[in-house]
Copies of this chain bind each other. A is one copy, B any other.
């Protein structure tokens, strides 16, 4: 077998995900799609704002195709990068230069670009459990090892003391995902200030910078008037990774950016380096979509739908006796398994045609993730199935 040692285990792992997808299809065929309740996928259910397609059509009609579909600076159209910098500076009182913005093939490519820039074989990336499964795979593909900080099972905030103990000479990157997938938790400014204190001490100890990837695909999806802290205000060595997948409901288009904080150590080298790894990885972000998002930076899909779904699903499940975290952002509900293992709970759900994701994959067994970026009507329909599941798990309804 000629396949790389580090990749071989990932190929087996991927078929588990596909298996779940196939099971959903099979259940729908067997029992009818209306009797299957698929909460497994983080695929936006609210369409892109109309301005996106209107802008795209106008550009396609009026602009020179050699400009629209052609190469630009590998880091992106300067007019888009300037618009992103201006927007961040205006919204957050930041001072990004146009050149601090590198347009990327979604957040995935942005994270890959950074990891490829920094990781020598065996270097370590630290993520706080529970975390997005792919962080581990991005790290492995770049030749590094992912180290998981155990979850703080009380608050699901950042377990900063545990982080401190894990930092060593091989630590290059820490990933923070705010709001968090899968918990929906928002990390507060105070939490991030504590993180910064620990990181500053650790960087002196190990003698090189630790860069923090602030992975912010859910930045615009916050509820109840919560304020999301602006990471570079709290963390010096911060690289923002952003995606328009959720803020403009464009997950398939693969459009996002890396914003290099002006304050970071070795700023010019890191900025130029990400430009290089981005060019090597994908040449540039898709051109038409770069020009579309430039004009739609502050447009949003109807996130009140997600908010309604959030309240409805949280209300239903807590009433039925489940323990859930009330999400402050993103579009996931994190539910504690009432059975001994989350795997058993996922199985029990499947018997009621409810598809949930075992949070063991997010390095947090004992919980499951429900994506509520689904139709409100499906959540309503699923109530009886959840009632049967609660009963099967021995739960009692709350008054």
Contacts and interface: CB of A to CB of B under 8 A. Distances in A.
A344 to B, nearest CB: 28
Interface string A45-74: 101100011001100110011101111100
Contacts of A252: 68-72, 284, 286-288
Interface string A323-367: 000000000000000000000000000000000000000000000
Interface stretch (A84-92, A115-123, A155-163, A181-189): A115-123
A6 B61 CA distance: 44
A266 interface: yes
A269 B3 CA distance: 9
A141 B121 contact: no
Interface stretch (A29-37, A106-114, A228-236, A379-387): A106-114
Contact of A272 (B15, B272, B273, B285): B15
Contacts of A270: 3
A270 B265 CA distance: 41
Nearest to A143: B143
B251 A7 contact: no
B253 A7 contact: no
A12 to B, nearest CB: 9
Pick from A60, A70, A108, A134 the residue with the most CB of B within 10 Å: A70
A254 B281 contact: no
B57 A61 contact: yes
A59 to B, nearest CB: 9
A280 B146 CA distance: 15
Contacts of A69: 48, 52, 249-253
B70 A53 contact: no
A270 B7 CA distance: 11
Contact of A65 (B47, B269, B272): B47
A10 interface: yes
A3 B273 contact: yes
Contact of A44 (B15, B66, B249, B286): B66
